[in-house]
Structure 1
């Protein structure tokens, strides 16, 4: 091998590692709060940030607690959406938070990047609307009378500010000299797809005004969807994610479907570069915890069923006593009183 080839290979490896660790800022979710000490100390000591993110932090210390909440939102939603999958978004106390799974260009990494960028946009926007941040407030560009005849009023969510901050903070690692690498392009695309999941599902909420609850006058505002809706949308995009490869078109490097028979992906779709492991066996080298000890559903034929979840290894069955609320009655006015009932159920866990 020539020295030039070795140098080029080393540079490509550095770029790949640089992009692969772009989600390290998710470690903020491990903190109880951000910003309780001086700006300099706060930002310099935050684990997982690159220097450019530290600089953004110093200029926006008041926003960083929202970023922390966005990271926690993303982790919680990921774990909810994948609770019945072999890979269930389990986190570590080390970097990267999701283990080495996200350092590969898999569809799992695609989901993590999308839900994370969406989490920051959502949490920052929510902080704007609730008056927590001096730099932003409600979206005052939404005003006047709509074509439907209602009055725009109230506090419309300032999603433009939330999205802009997410682009600045989350995308900063990728927008570097390595931003034309396949992995950087993949991350940037999925980051934007996450934000699109909020933007494309904004809704109109209204309140009626008039005598005895009549709707003589209706005032409305624009609101973000619940974050669960965002998670549901991105989970669907995960299931239909497109495998891509880099191609040069003119002077521009772009991602195109690896299989030319597939239609091109849109800005809202998730894309990935590498096939996923089966997540069956414990493999800490690749950040895979395996499914041994996971609960499974004996009667299900889906991925949460014992046959698929346990990867054909079989499962243990034991009887456990559970306590449920039962015989609930509504009492006037206004509470519900329940009894506690004990029952024995079968619990199945993978070998």
Structure 2
């Protein structure tokens, strides 16, 4: 009898860890797991899994690299906060089982990491399924308006085109080469003077699109296929929030694209510029998402069962770019294995800072302690012909502060 009771108790403990939600979340830690499932997979995921995962050029391998990139950048963005996005001691698995603000960021940054990695791989020719984006139609539209410094302005450009006259509308289909002197004579095609920082060619310059951007559209599509296909038929609040945050991560990648140009001409002149849209470093994408993390909104399910709304009626509804969550974050000051909190004991803090990494904020109410270290380093180095470098050994006194 005692054996039966123990067996039932163990089953109760194991069941939450093997639920559909937990199963889907753990895939973020090991994306190869999704292809090992015995149940029927959605067609879009099945197409990805059919490729040889050992092949470095497979999409599944790029997805794995993208998730790793997302976790690495998550640790970088939160390294000075109480929750530092660590994966130690299964902390991340516990975070992914919840639906907190931290969970929202992890889901968004991993979706962004997949999209970013695949988009870059397409442009570098590392995938046979895609190449760089050669959307010349969009390029022509951008050239006629000459108002963008990033992909953010695409919607505004499309709206402005509807109000242009017929002559300006027909210009979109012409070869994407512009001469500033000719355009300045057209009163219906006014352009602003670009600033030196936005990379746009100035008036009087010849410029054209190379027609090969970073393929963010393909990256976003594959990120959505892999992460969202399993949940599209569900309408529970956790699924709605998860898909929303995944989309927010992918949108952060697309919104971060910017114009880049290369000069061409004799003797270093810039008589012609070739321009294309490219992605910045992934740190910039992660920083954009971290700002959304700080302004994330708590939401609840609507009565229709297919959407959500903010918990407070006076709170502004979240946009498609905002992060949302349904559960309050745990107290990360104290260790709590059940929620993935490792505490702040022995975390290094900054005694002179007033931000999140300051000793007063990071160490909660536990206080901090000072430790003096003597560090050896090379100094007063001299170059001796030929070809040695001789250095002295200096000792530097350093003081570090850690939370109690």
Does the pair score TM above 0.5?
yes
Cα RMSD (Å): 3.2
Q: Structure 1 CA distance, aligned partners of 2:110 and 2:312?
A: 28
Q: CA deviation at 1:141?
A: 1.4
Match of 2:21? 19
Q: Does residue 347 in structure 1 map to residue 400 in structure 2?
A: yes
Alpha-carbon spacing, 1:300–1:107, altered in 2? closer, same or farther (3 Å): same
DSSP-derived class of the 1:277 partner: coil
Aligned match for 2:214, one of 131, 148, 157: 157
Offset of 1:318 from its aligned partner? 1.1
Taking the aligned partners of 1:272 and 1:342, their CA distance within structure 2 comes to 49
Distance 1:207 1:189, change over 3 A: same
**Number of matched residues?**
317
- Give the Cα separation in 2 of the matches to 1:283 and 1:65: 34
Which residue of the partner structure matches residue 66 of structure 1?
A: 62
Tell me how far apart the structure 2 counterparts of residues 200 and 329 of structure 1 sit (CA, whole Å).
Answer: 49
Quote the residue 1:258 is aligned against.
311
Farther off after superposition, 219-228 or 182-191: 219-228
Q: Distance in 1 between matches of 2:299 and 2:269?
A: 54
Shift of 1:228: 0.7
Would you say the 8 A contact 2:136–2:211 is kept in 1? no
CA gap 1:54/1:222 in 2 versus in 1, 3 angstroms: closer
Shift in Å at residue 339 of structure 1? 7.5
1:287-324 superposed Cα distances (whole Å, 9 cap, x missing partner): 11111111112233333222222221122321112356
Unaligned runs of 5+ in 1: 1-9, 35-41, 331-335
Give 1:308's aligned residue.
361
Are positions 1:86 and 2:86 aligned together?
A: no
SS in 2 for 1:253: coil
Contact (CA 8 Å) 1:111, 1:238: kept in 2 or not?
yes
State the 1:155 CA deviation.
3.0
Query: Structure 2 vs 1, CA of residues 323 and 273 (structure 1 numbering), >3 Å: closer, same or farther?
Result: farther
Shift of 1:125: 0.8
Which moves more between the two structures, 50-59 or 125-134? 50-59
Asked whether the equivalents of residues 291 and 310 of structure 1 are also in contact (C-alpha less than 8 Å), the reply is yes
Paired with 1:75 and 1:229, the residues of 2 have a C-alpha distance of 15
C-alpha displacement of 1:18? 2.2
Partners in 1 of 2:17 and 2:29 — Cα distance? 21
SS at match of 1:151: strand
Is the CA contact 2:45–2:226 (under 8 Å) kept in the aligned structure 1? Answer: no
Cα 1:114/1:339, change in 2 over 3 Å: farther
Which whole-Å deviations, capped at 9, do the CAs of 1:64-84 have from their partners, x for residues lacking one?
111111011101110011000
Q: 1:338 to 1:113 in 2, by over 3 A?
A: farther
Consecutive unaligned residues of structure 2, counting only runs of 5 or more, are 1-11, 53-57, 147-177, 179-206, 384-388
Q: How far, CA to CA, are the matches of 1:43 and 1:114 in structure 2?
A: 19
Q: Does the 8 A contact of 2:135 with 2:211 survive in 1?
A: no
**Cα distance 1:308–1:17, how it changes in 2: closer, same or farther (>3 A)?**
farther
1:236 to 264, 284, 291: 291
Shift of 1:241: 0.5
Report the counterpart of residue 166 of structure 1 in structure 2: 223
**Runs of 4+ more than 3 Å apart:** 13-17, 42-46, 49-54, 142-145, 322-330, 336-342
Distance 1:338 1:198, change over 3 A: farther
CA deviation string 1:8-28 (max 9, x = no partner)? xx9xx9799423543322324
What does 1:93-172 correspond to in 2, within 5 Å? Answer: 98-142=92-136, 146-147=143-144, 148=146, 149=178, 150-153=207-210, 155-172=212-229
- Shift of the alpha carbon at 1:131? 0.6
